[in-house]
Amino acid sequence: MRLENEVYVVTGALGGMGKETVKRFLEEGAFVAAVDLNVDGVEESDRFLPIAADLTKEEDVEKVFSATNEKFERIDGLVNIAGIAQSATPIEEVSLEDWEKIMRVNSTAPFLTCRAAVPYMKKQGNGVIVNIASISMVRPRPGLNAYIASKGATVSFSQALAIELAEYGIRVNVVNPGPADTNMLAQFSAKEADVEATKDSIFKKSVPLGRLIKPIDIANSLVYLCSKEAAIVTGSVLNVDGGRGI
């Protein structure tokens, strides 16, 4: 097993990519704290701790890490998957409120979770962080202005941390998913668009390998980046996108 007895905090854990990632991490022998806005009805077990938190709130984030450390007595890794979409909107129609909300969830929340995780990792002398950005920051799509800015910030922030934390044995990497078959995909369409038609005519067609990215594709890349197989990989951006970024 590739993550045997390691403790991971996974955010956005009940979303499309998050659920699959939690499942894969458990299969690889990890202990997982699964964080999402609402975890009602999700059962705790010896290896699995569901935590409800709004990751834009400092006090919720602190609680996530103290509760994880209390149950599992260490924190080896943090995987930031939580995020929100933006429906394609001309720049002159983007409200300050929408801009700030997207930046808060997609950029500020990873800052807060990384800031809270690092003291545990420094104390142990090792750790791994993977932040999910988006291939759209390499190949933008019209109207996703705030979303793309928020993901670009996540990539730069991750690389800044990779250099800052290397001397502590903490690796920081990014996964850029291409258009993925989850509930979020429909939310990128313009408000008036036919969502199902857009999925095929725009998103699927934009992937050179000819299909949408599946949550398992992302989960597998996260297992790799967190595992010892990636022991010398830090500051990298792995495009899991079927070639969309070429």
In the beta sheet, which residues pair with residue 33?
9, 49
What's at 5, amino acid-wise?
N
What span, in angstroms and rounded, lies between the C-alpha atoms of 158 and 140? Answer: 19
DSSP 177: E
Classify 237 as helix, strand or coil.
Answer: strand
Query: Taking the complex as a whole, how short is the minimal distance between the CB of residue 138 and ligand NAD, in angstroms?
Result: 11
**By the rule CB under 6 A, 12 interacts with ligand NAD:** yes
Phi, psi of 35 (to 5 degrees): -110, 130
Measured from the CB atom, the residue of 124 and 186 that comes closer to ligand NAD is 186
**By the rule CB under 6 A, 216 interacts with ligand NAD:** no
**By the rule CB under 6 A, 105 interacts with ligand NAD:** yes
Query: Taking the complex as a whole, how short is the minimal distance between the CB of residue 130 and ligand NAD, in angstroms?
Result: 11
Measured from the CB atom, the residue of 170 and 185 that comes closer to ligand NAD is 185
Query: Taking the complex as a whole, how short is the minimal distance between the CB of residue 181 and ligand NAD, in angstroms?
Result: 8
Judge contact between 28 and 99, C-beta under 8 A: no
Q: Which DSSP string corresponds to 154-186?
A: HHHHHHHHHHHHGGGTEEEEEEEE-SBSSHHHH
User: Which residue carries 């720049």 as its tokens?
Assistant: 91
Q: Where are the beta strands (DSSP E) in 75-230?
A: 77-80, 127-132, 170-177
**By the rule CB under 6 A, 98 interacts with ligand NAD:** no
Classify 180 as helix, strand or coil.
Answer: strand
Give the footprint of ligand NAD on residues 54-73 (CB under 6 A): 54-56
**By the rule CB under 6 A, 18 interacts with ligand NAD:** yes
Find the catalytic residue in 8, 147, 168, 224. Answer: 147
Active site annotation includes 224: no
Judge contact between 7 and 79, C-beta under 8 A: no
Give the footprint of ligand NAD on residues 38-57 (CB under 6 A): 53-56
**By the rule CB under 6 A, 217 interacts with ligand NAD:** no
Interaction site with ligand NAD (CB under 6 A): 11-12, 14-18, 36-37, 53-56, 81-84, 105, 109, 132, 134, 177, 179-180, 182-185
